[in-house]
Amino acid sequence: MSKVITGFSKLSKSEKIDWLAENYFQDKKKGIETLEQYKNQDAKLQQLHDEFIENTISNFYVPYAIAPNFIINGKSLAIPMAIEESSVVAAAALTAKFWSTKGGFIANVISTTKIGQVHFTYKGNVSELRQYFSSIKDDLIIATDHITSNMRKRGGGIVDIELRDKTEELEDYFQLHVKFETGDSMGANFINSCLEAIASAFEKEGISIIMSILSNYVPECLVRAEVSCSIEDFFEEDADLYAQKFVQAVEIAKIEPYRAVTHNKGIMNGIDAVVLATGNDFRAVAAGAHAYAAKDGKYKSLTHAKIEDGQFKFWIEIPLSLGTVGGLTKLHPLAKLSMEILQGPNASELMQIVAVAGLAQNFAALRALTTTGIQQGHMKMHLMNILNQLEANVHEKELIIQEFKKNAVSHSAVAECLHKIRTGH
Catalytic residue numbers, as ranges: 85, 265, 281, 378
CB 194 within 8 A of CB 140: no
Q: What is the largest CA-CA distance in the chain?
A: 88
- Residue 345 CA to residue 99 CA, distance in Å, equals 22
- Surface-to-core class of residue 408, CB atoms within 10 Å of its CB (0-12 exposed, 13-18 middle, 19+ buried): exposed
Give SS3 for 118.
strand
- What b-and-e string marks burial along 47-73, b requiring 16 or more CB atoms within 10 Å of the CB? eebbeeeeeeebeeeeebbebebbbbe
Nearest CA-CA partner of 268 in 244, 285, 251, 246? 285
CA distances from 393 to 144, 383, 404, 423 (A): 62, 14, 16, 15
Nearest-5° angle of CA 192, CA 194, CA 196?
70
CB 348 within 8 A of CB 109: yes
- Residue 167 CA to residue 179 CA, distance in Å, equals 21
- What b-and-e string marks burial along 308-325, b requiring 16 or more CB atoms within 10 Å of the CB? eeeebebbbbbbbbbbbb
CA distances from 258 to 96, 266, 286 (A): 28, 13, 18
CB 358 within 8 A of CB 275: no
DSSP letter for each residue of 298-309:
S---SEEEEEET
Beta-carbon neighbour count of residue 87 at 10 Å?
A: 20
